[in-house]
Structure 1
Amino acid sequence: MCLGSLIVSLSTSVVQLAIGRTLQASGASSFMSVGPSSISDIYKLEERGTAMGAYYGAVLLGPAIAPMTGGIAATYASWRLMQIIIFGMSLSSLISVIMFLPETCHPGSRGVDKLREGAELAGRTYRSKWVWLNPFQSLKLFRGPNVSFVAIASACALMTDFVMLIPLSYTIGPRYGLTSPALIGACFLPSGLGKTLGSPIVGRISDKIIISKRRQRGGKWLPEDRLLATLPGAMFLVPLSVLMYGITIQFIPGKIGLIICFMCLFANGIGVVMVCGPTGTYAVDILHTQSAEVIAVLSGTRNFFAGQAAAFALPLIERIGVAAISALAAGVAWFGFALLLITIIYGTRLRKWVDLGYTTTADGTS
């Protein structure tokens, strides 16, 4: 992340810029896997949703203010200044992790622990040796329908966010006369505000649902109960907000149209975290000893879908119009809702199809 930020700030060509941005993204992605998995290690089931919600609320504060901050920097100084600031923030994060973040991995679940235990059982002395790590090993978890369904469902929801936000300077900008980079950046705030406010709330709601359902069953835990918190966002907020957003831009001019767009962005922000938050927590609930791996699968799937939206949203808008692409995105979001509904109804059966070492008790054991 530090190296990528420096390369971007000093880049003089598109190739150098692309290389730097790739390094930045690779570095930033580590927090998206390690953060939730660490939280899953230290919070029990009934508190995990609230903790994850607080985490994502803090994480999503960055995207909420970054476009406006970057727009201000580009307007009054240089976009390179923002990259130098990111370098400083990345360096402070590195120092903070080294100083304050201890190992939270489940005792005995690390590869070195298993090798040491195996050597002791065989009466041998364990000696360290070089091990090649396969970075794509975690993708095997995608074989489980529960994992793949919630990963795709959350990716479908997140994709609508990129369909709305990435082309802002080509949709809301010219439609409502916003030309300044700072003003365009400010248009990201409603979505970011919805995510930041909604994430802790929906996390707490998912915990309450878990507690309530367990009590109703006499103490029996069903992991899919947590996914009930996703339904309002997946069924209504996400698809309807992106659909109304496209219709508004294409057919409603003036201040009224701009206000409706901001309301849609805010509603979409809440809806996206209503889907992404509980699905991430559900994933670590059912694979507690593989929390980092399953979060990596979810994050990778979400980012893949988001990347496609970022690449193709603007060309499709130019080809078929903003209302049509918004309707298409809403349809994708409803497909994600269908996957969540299937997982909620048939989750127990789906987990029996492929044995991924699922967590079977509320205390995190298998």
Structure 2
Amino acid sequence: MAIVRAQPDHHPVKVAAPSSASSSADSDTEAGRTAAALPPSDQAPIPLQTSVQIDDKPAIPLPGWKRWFALFSICVAVFPSNFNNTCIMSAVPEVSADLQTAEHVVVAANAGMFGAMALCVFVWMPLGVLLGRRTAVLVANAVVCACSLISALAPNVVVFTAFWLISGLTTPFLLVAGQTILSDIFEPTTRGFATGLILGMSTIAKAIGPLSGALIVTVTSWRVIFGASALVSFTALVLCFFFVPSATGHGPQKHPSEIQAQPTARRGPLEILLMFNPVAVFRPMKDPRVVLTHLSCGLASFNLYSLLSSIRSSVAPRFNLTTPVSSGLFYLAPGIGFLVGNLVGGRLSDYTVRKWIVKRGGMRLPSDRLRSCLPATLLLAPAGTLAFGWSVQERAGGMALPIVATFFQGIGLMDAFNGLNTYAAEVVPESRNAIISSKYLLQYTFAAAGVGISPLLLQNVGVGFTFTLTAAAAMIGGILIALLVVSGSGNGVALPRFKTNCGSKENGSQS
């Protein structure tokens, strides 16, 4: 395999590959020489950073067009994960009236939806192993499609809530499987951008969901929301069937995540039952880096969903907004911020990785990409949250200040999610699937807390103090990210070697 070292001019230089008999030893020797060349401070171990493992396998060889079609298929599949629950946030009165129930029941069902999303890992993580990743993705899309259709036709709140929760129990798996697939088919230096796109589609759902829900309930029934979700899930099912690769049949080298994602031949009933042991989800949390990553994502999610679930109830009295559409327009500002944060954050993350590779003379650390989101998490998101809350509370700045504040808050939050999600897929490669799954467990638990608690806080302490609390959550998350960066800068590993023969078929497939 050819060895590539990153040079300051960003042009890879091909070095003669060692013989197969000595390649491993030579690679270890060169890594040792590189580590020895670092300053003493960079060689000192940091207790928190117990080990650094880099996924040094090349990406699964796929034609360039199929790689991007696979990415597009995953993006479509994750869209319903945040579309239904954010649409309902701006349509609670209409849903409760049609189903002849109280508004707080619909709000509780929405919070329960996030709770079900948190529990997804206990069901779909073992199913992904039993069925195989590709088959599990297809089954999950079919389940979401069927549940959305039944929710759209539900005659009462019990049927509606039951199938909505089943859908919520399934949708996060598509995000988990999607991120592991991207980690296998994209190189580390482009992985951040690919992750940004898949999160961007999820973010588009957050951005247009509340306004779409407001528009839909203004002109037609809220049931159209779930009908549209069913149509998107069916489209994703067809796309994934044709374009999402399986974990086998792509060359002799297998990623650890691929091996875990393949179905095994035959398992006994007891062995299958043991696969649903919840301990497997919590096992990666023995690593302090994983715990800090999950807590950072959870705190950012608490901030995000506290905002989304509170906009209509906080801005409508302030600006005398009486229709769902007028309140729904306020969701555009954070929604656009989400999109900008995803697109800019992904590119900035990859740029930061390349910059630090050159800075270290050809060495990469998973925590490098987290450096790019520190300003956003420590300054942008908390400042935007505080400005929104207190401008509404004190009736200052007219409409402009809360709109601008939520825009920058959205940028900061999505920049954080982009770096953290990619880092979670890289930090311990052989446990990638379990780490991403357990991350969503904590992330959606915090989201459920945000959706359930923020309306109560608004009623009891006011808008300003409510968003002071959520700003503090975002700030603490930023501090945890900074701790990950500081702890991760003490150990180094050799930069993964990739084949980059200019003009070769393999290189072309990575375009």
TM over 0.5: yes
User: Which sits farther off after the overlay, 173-182 or 270-279?
Assistant: 173-182
Where does residue 180 of structure 1 map in the other structure? Answer: 323
Amino acid at match of 1:320: V
Is this contact kept in 1: 2:392–2:463, CA < 8 A? yes
Q: Greater helix share, 1 or 2? A: 1
Q: 2:365 aligned to 208, 213, 222, which one?
A: 222
1:129 aligns with 2:272: no
Could you tell me how far apart the structure 2 residues matched to 1:314 and 1:56 are? 27
* Count of paired positions: 344
Larger Rg: 2
Amino acid at match of 2:282: L
Q: 1:167 aligned to 310, 313, 320, which one?
A: 310
Identity %: 24
Amino acid at match of 1:363: P
- Structure 1 50/108 Cα, relative in aligned 2: closer, same or farther at 3 Å? closer
Secondary structure of the 2:496 match is coil
| Cα-to-partner distance string for 1:132-172 (whole Å, 9 max, x where unaligned) | 13273233112211111011112212211212220222101
Alignment of 1:2-13 (within 5 A): 2-13=145-156
1:73 aligns with 2:216: yes
Alignment of 1:50-65 (within 5 A): 50-65=193-208
Structure 1: stretches of 5+ with no match in the other structure: 116-126, 352-358
Amino acid at match of 1:173: A
1:36 aligns with 2:174: no
Where does residue 293 of structure 1 map in the other structure? Answer: 434
1:316 aligns with 2:457: yes
Could you tell me how far apart the structure 1 residues matched to 2:176 and 2:196 are? 15
Where does residue 281 of structure 1 map in the other structure? Answer: 422
Could you tell me how far apart the structure 1 residues matched to 2:187 and 2:330 are? 38
- TM-score normalised to structure 2 length: 0.63
Where does residue 90 of structure 1 map in the other structure? Answer: 233
Is this contact kept in 2: 1:42–1:104, CA < 8 A? no
Could you tell me how far apart the structure 1 residues matched to 2:432 and 2:366 are? 15
- Structure 1 6/222 Cα, relative in aligned 2: closer, same or farther at 3 Å? same
Where does residue 363 of structure 1 map in the other structure? Answer: 496
Secondary structure of the 1:60 match is helix
Secondary structure of the 1:171 match is helix
Is this contact kept in 2: 1:150–1:279, CA < 8 A? yes
Is this contact kept in 2: 1:154–1:276, CA < 8 A? yes
- TM-score normalised to structure 1 length: 0.87
Could you tell me how far apart the structure 2 residues matched to 1:257 and 1:302 are? 33
- Structure 1 113/326 Cα, relative in aligned 2: closer, same or farther at 3 Å? closer
Amino acid at match of 1:237: L
Alignment of 1:89-168 (within 5 A): 89-104=232-247, 107=254, 109=256, 110-111=259-260, 128-130=266-268, 131-132=271-272, 133-134=275-276, 136=278, 137-168=280-311
Structure 2: stretches of 5+ with no match in the other structure: 1-143, 499-511
Where does residue 120 of structure 1 map in the other structure? Answer: none
Amino acid at match of 2:412: G
Amino acid at match of 2:421: G
Is this contact kept in 1: 2:294–2:443, CA < 8 A? yes
- Structure 1 360/188 Cα, relative in aligned 2: closer, same or farther at 3 Å? same
* C-alpha displacement of 1:288: 2.4
1:244 aligns with 2:387: yes
* C-alpha displacement of 1:363: 2.9
Could you tell me how far apart the structure 2 residues matched to 1:6 and 1:59 are? 20
